[in-house]
Chain A
Amino acid sequence: MNIVENFDLYAPKLTDKKEYFSPGHRACQGCGEALAIRLMCKALGKDTIIVNATGCMEVVSTMYPTTAWELPWIHVAFPNSASVGAGVEAALKVLRRKGKIDDRDVKTVCIGGDGGTFDIGLQALSGTMERGHDLLYVCFDNEAYMNTGIQRSGATPFGASTTTNPAGSASIGKNQWKKNVAEIMVAHNVPYVATACPSYPVDFMNKVKKAREFKGPSFIHCMSVCPTGWRIPSAECIKMGRLAVESGVFPLYEVENGRYRFTYRPEPLRPVEQYIKKQGRFRHLTPETIESVQKRVILEYKKLVDRVDGLHSWDELELAD
């Protein structure tokens, strides 16, 4: 039995007992994003401030009169969790310097969905990364605007049907390829960028812990399966995340000071058909289209392999004084 079929391998019970994202929230059954946030919080620990852009997680976690958050938490507008986080981080630094608060390592963590990160929030994110704030940004990518009812985003994959890219006789659904936001973050020359998926909980939590330790901006792109929007049974969430990784659609890697490293190398890759065929959002795709998706996935994967093999950490560069 391999990792995709073997659910016993999934063992969140092995993690800390303490919950900072507590049960009782109103996420859909099988929500990969709620699961990812729970794991992220466990990895971050209590000295954490969460800045949450508008989106599914803000809505489902704070239904009046309850909250799932056992951490300081602020919900801000759709475009600017990165800017508000920058303000929080900078002001904490000043307070610490002046001795007004304990000199504890309190981490500011901004979170947003794919809409709030790839689209409307990209400008704020870019500015924050460039200025070099000591904060972590985690994008929980469920590949569409699920909160408003499945509209396409810059993260929606090629060929997926959404309500603003409906597939039909005249359209195959989304006709553009997904934006590579992790690469955009790497291009900002920040110390740490990683991709992750809660279907690989230990890998994800390790990356969050690592990102927490970096002084400076770090970014994690977390693939979060959305059974509602992807049109899959809610019990398939973990499996679908694994198929995304095992097929090479969403490789798990990290970029530390410019150096690429696979954290899990699922070669030989499974055919993307296994991933695509299970999802209602891709139901209409013809074998020819699936074949072109397959070619693209392999191309992108090879580009990544080249980077892993070829690029080195900037720490290794000998700079002239």
Chain B
Amino acid sequence: MAEAKLLSGNDACVQGALAAGVRFFAGYPITPSTEIANAFARELPRRGGIFMQMEDEIASMGAIIGASCTGTKAVTATSGPGFSLMQENIGYAAIAEIPCVIINVMRYGPSTGLPTSPSQGDFMQSRWGSHGDRPVIVIAPYTAREAYRETGRAVNLSETYRVPVIVLMDEILGHLRERVEFRDEDLVQEISRKGPEPGRPFLPYENTEDGVPPFADFGTGYRYHITGLIHDETGFPTNNPVEVDTTMRRVNGKLELHRQDIERTQFVDADDAEILIVAFGSVARSAHEAVRTLRNEGKAVGMVRPITVWPFPEDDIRTAAAGKKAIIVPEMNLGQMIGEVERAVAGTVPVHALNRIDGLLITPHEIRDLVEDLL
């Protein structure tokens, strides 16, 4: 498969989604994600797919939920303000367990914020943005190559676990163009949701052992109830405390059962490092560069990079952090992931923040300087 292409991060997301079988996109123009909509508008009609431009982001989420109910793999893309508008429907997709993928190319906020500048300000919103408890998988690539592969994986995870999956990009990653050399491991598979077993009674929200009920696509002969109200195994609304508890524990707990399959973490020279950097997304590019140059000078520095950022890879962080002198968490926000890192290491290793919120990327130099202070 060794094939080289010049791809932007946004284009790579589109290619990865198409490779995973996405044939439906509904979206609304917003910087810095618009190129994703433009590319789907070009590519989908050629493949017999549908591109729909909606009147706002609430409608974009509504449309991909509707399309997904028919078994069509559906994606939307947005940024900051649009991501905020999508939150109610993301919660709906989570409780109704409708597979869908949202690509959020982060810009700095709140509100209109800095439309053309990068940020990692949606780390927490991607996890907790809707009201109530809801499951979600969030994946943060850091190169165009990974944007391709991980968007494909996002589609497959959403189908496998009937859960909304968010691809957390940022302005730098979305707009940078780089040479991408695809190798065999980048091959994106096409995985589809499991359907009802013929001959067996169909319970749309069955408490299955793996936590994931079968999905009967609209138009395949099944008639059942889908709702955003809390429901029992039949899909009908319930106030019964036992049933509510059962449903909510299964829906929120199903990802925990499959952590091994969902989690993906990269370790860079982490084993023998004294100082450990925990970073994701485009900031991890700077961190990676800092590790490389410091290692060349013989300094014991390493990096742990969550690729799946939610569920947060607590065990990976805890294991990698054991015995380290210090941890640095650089982020383009006022400190969001750092709380998760502190929770994982539970006071055993000092954790240092490095934050930028001025619309500029944290540079390798800034990370180096802090590492050298701490060594």
Taking Cβ atoms with an 8 Å cutoff, the residues of A that contact B are 54, 75, 77-79, 115, 118-120, 122, 145, 148-149, 151-152, 154, 163-166, 170-171
Contacts and interface: CB of A to CB of B under 8 A. Distances in A.
A148 B29 contact: yes
The prevalent SS among residues of A at the interface is loop
A78 B81 contact: yes
A151 B81 contact: no
Nearest to A145: B29
A165 B30 CA distance: 16
Contacts of B30: 148
A149 B112 contact: no
Given A119-B56, A145-B29, A149-B34, 18 more contacts: A77-B112, A78-B81, A115-B29, A118-B55, A120-B56, A148-B30, A148-B34, A149-B38, A151-B37, A163-B38, A164-B37, A164-B38, A164-B51, A165-B41, A165-B53, A166-B42, A170-B45, A171-B45
B228 to A, nearest CB: 20
B111 interface: yes
Nearest to B52: A164
B34 A154 contact: no
Chain B interface residue bracket vs A = 10 to 19
Interface in B63-91: 81, 85
A120 B41 contact: no
Nearest to B34: A148
A165 B40 CA distance: 10
B42 to A, nearest CB: 6
Given A120-B56, A145-B29, A148-B30, A166 B112 contact: no
B271 to A, nearest CB: 46
Given A148-B34, A151-B34, A164 B29 contact: yes
Contacts of B42: 166
A164 B53 contact: yes
B41 A77 contact: no
B355 interface: no
A164 B81 contact: no
Nearest to A151: B29
A78 B54 CA distance: 14
B103 to A, nearest CB: 16
A122 B56 CA distance: 10
Contacts of A118: 55
Contacts of A75: 112
Greatest chain A CB density within 10 A among B29, B34, B81, B85 is at B29
